[in-house]
Amino acid sequence: MKKAVLILFVISLGFICYYLNPEEALPQNIHIDKLVVLKSKRLLQAYSKGDLVKSYKISLGGNPKLVIKYVKMTIKHQKASIS
């Protein structure tokens, strides 16, 4: 019983530490001009002026289908508008 409580405590502590450690925010003056999705690696990469700015792990489900859609995006201050 004590071992189960200890394991539950350690797992809970791990989740709390994970959620209290936020990701580093992008600087306010960054303009993202290109987003790339690497489906096999399950990554979304954000580029600014050709340089990789940030990479995010993404979830696509068990068997993602190939859908290619090109959109012009403008991202300012963590908000996106698609035109």
Question: Hey, where are the domains in the chain?
Answer: 2-82
Cut 0.75: pTM above it: no
End-to-end CA distance of the chain: 58
What's the number of CA atoms in the CB half-sphere (13 Å) around residue 15?
A: 5
| Of 82, 72, 70, 77, nearest in space to 31 by CA | 77
pLDDT at 81: 47
Give pLDDT tens digits along the chain (83 positions): 888 889 999 999 888 887 787 777 777 888 888 898 888 888 899 999 989 998 888 888 776 666 555 555 555 554 444 54
Dihedral of CA 21/41/60/14: which sign?
A: negative
For residue 71, the model assigns a pLDDT of: 55
